[in-house]
């Protein structure tokens, strides 16, 4: 008897791949509520700047003499800075002359963007007309220590500015709760030293340092404290649908506007899940989020939340830019098991980009991970994963381990979902 198959499109790179999955094994497919894109994005952004959340209008907050920095996101984020910046800068320039405005790409510890990447991310016209610089982790100023002991080193230009604005995209985040808001300051423009404390072993291991949690999340609260110390003045954050259209704009008070945006995102991204899966199939939601394996840990972490202990995660992620930071590969490659990854971090921190290794290893203690990607097989195995050519090959292998009746949950856009387990 022929097995009935269900075809499901999975975002991968700039396109997608079609996974053919036995219908009888599928428990559910987790998808976001797909909100409609705004009819006029530019007008919506302009109005949000003129009627912001818990804040006077932007033009009333700045003076002609002010030096203003605008913090934009880098190319690992789908934030549409090329659509946010034109109305934002136009509103600013109604008061502040252009030569007083600097755009800083809030890279965190990511590599700098070259001219072509800046043009793709921010828009060619913006790059040509404004002073645009990449964050430099070696050009920071120590401004104090948080109540949790994090030394706060912030980009010198940010500290020397009179007014600080950040763009951002709000989505579930696997240890900060949600992205956006305060993250443009920390980790966006902080130092390696700040990262190692805020992303340290104990902070990452805290039970509330998880997706969708803000209240009681020590890492999030530490980021907020850093953003307050750096005097972040105003934010313009957006929510997106699956077509990368802006559905909501939250602008204004850097913390209250962000909280409002997170609440909207929680309602859109939250999906009830009736049970844990034996096999979870997911992605990192295509480009630019699946640029490398380092970023793909976000989608893997979402899948881990709804996969039973001993279950298998199959993830499709193009990883067109490779592994990500070399230190990410080196730490995993230096040991033979996820347990040893955890032990090495505890004993030797600070080390590399340990937070990503730690979260990945935490998943690997409970789940085998099968990866469909453009990475070579040896690299995938060095990351303690199993390389597979297709989702179907991954399923065949998983069924051979877990049995033909293994139950499957599919998350086509892994990092954009907030699973709400009902059991």
Q: Are 158 and 152 in contact (CB under 8 A)?
A: no
Q: Are 266 and 75 in contact (CB under 8 A)?
A: no
Task: Tell the burial category of 59 from Cβ atoms under 10 Å away from its Cβ (0-12, 13-18, 19+).
Answer: middle
Q: Are 71 and 164 in contact (CB under 8 A)?
A: yes
How many Cβ atoms sit within 10 Å of the Cβ of residue 309? 8
- CA angle at 125 for the pair 120 and 128, rounded to the nearest 5°: 100
Active site residue 173: yes
The string of DSSP letters for 16-48 reads EEEEEEEGGGEEEE-----PPPPS-HHHHHHHH
DSSP single-letter state for residue 2: P
Enumerate the H helices of 26-104 as residue ranges. 41-50, 58-61, 81-92
Write the CB contacts of 154 (distance below 8 Å, at least 6 apart in sequence). Answer: 140, 141, 143, 185, 189, 190, 191, 226, 229, 230
The first and second tokens of residue 271, run together, are 């999906």
> Which of these is catalytic: 135, 173, 332, 367?
173
Write the CB contacts of 249 (distance below 8 Å, at least 6 apart in sequence). Answer: 38, 44, 45, 48, 236, 237, 238
The first and second tokens of residue 260, run together, are 């409002």
The Cα-based distances of 112 to 77, 108, 134, 414 in angstroms read: 14, 10, 6, 26
Active site residues: 110, 173
């Amino acid at each position: 008897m022929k097995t009935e198959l269900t075809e499901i499109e999975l975002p991968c790179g700039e396109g997608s791949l079609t996974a053919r999955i036995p219908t009888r094994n599928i428990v559910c497919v987790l998808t976001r509520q797909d909100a409609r894109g705004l009819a006029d994005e530019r007008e919506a952004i302009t109005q949000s700047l003129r009627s912001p959340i818990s804040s006077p209008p932007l033009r009333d907050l700045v003076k002609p003499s002010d030096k203003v920095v605008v913090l934009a996101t880098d190319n690992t984020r789908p934030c549409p800075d090329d659509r946010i910046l034109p109305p934002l800068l136009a509103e600013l320039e109604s008061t502040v002359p252009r030569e007083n405005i600097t755009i800083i790409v809030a890279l965190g510890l990511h590599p700098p963007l070259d001219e072509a990447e800046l043009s793709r991310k921010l828009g060619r016209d913006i790059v040509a007309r404004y002073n645009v610089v990449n964050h430099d982790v070696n050009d920071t100023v120590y401004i104090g220590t948080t109540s949790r002991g994090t030394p706060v080193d912030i980009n010198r230009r940010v500290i020397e500015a009179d007014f600080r604005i950040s763009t951002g995209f709000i989505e579930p985040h696997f240890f900060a709760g949600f992205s956006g808001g305060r993250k443009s300051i920390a980790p966006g423009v902080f130092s390696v030293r700040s990262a190692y404390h805020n992303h340290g072993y104990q902070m990452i291991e805290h039970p509330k340092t998880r997706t969708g949690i803000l209240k009681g999340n020590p890492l999030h609260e530490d980021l907020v404290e850093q953003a307050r110390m750096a005097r972040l003045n105003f934010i313009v954050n957006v929510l997106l649908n699956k077509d990368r259209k802006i559905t909501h704009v939250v602008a204004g008070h850097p913390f209250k506007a962000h909280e409002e945006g997170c609440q909207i995102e929680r309602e859109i991204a939250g999906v009830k899940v009736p049970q844990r899966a034996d096999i979870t199939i997911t992605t990192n939601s295509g480009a630019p989020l699946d640029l490398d394996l380092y970023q793909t840990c976000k989608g893997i972490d979402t899948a881990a939340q709804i996969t039973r202990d001993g279950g298998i995660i199959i993830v499709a992620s193009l990883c067109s830019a490779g592994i990500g930071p070399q230190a990410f590969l080196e730490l995993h490659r230096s040991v033979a098991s996820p347990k040893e990854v955890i032990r090495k971090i505890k004993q030797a921190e600070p080390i590399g980009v340990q937070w990503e290794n730690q979260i990945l290893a935490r998943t690997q203690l409970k789940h085998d991970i099968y990866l469909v990607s453009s990475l070579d097989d040896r690299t995938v195995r060095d990351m303690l994963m199993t390389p597979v050519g297709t989702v179907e090959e991954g399923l065949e292998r998983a069924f051979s381990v877990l049995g033909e009746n293994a139950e499957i949950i599919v998350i086509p856009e892994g990092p954009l979902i907030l699973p709400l387990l009902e059991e």
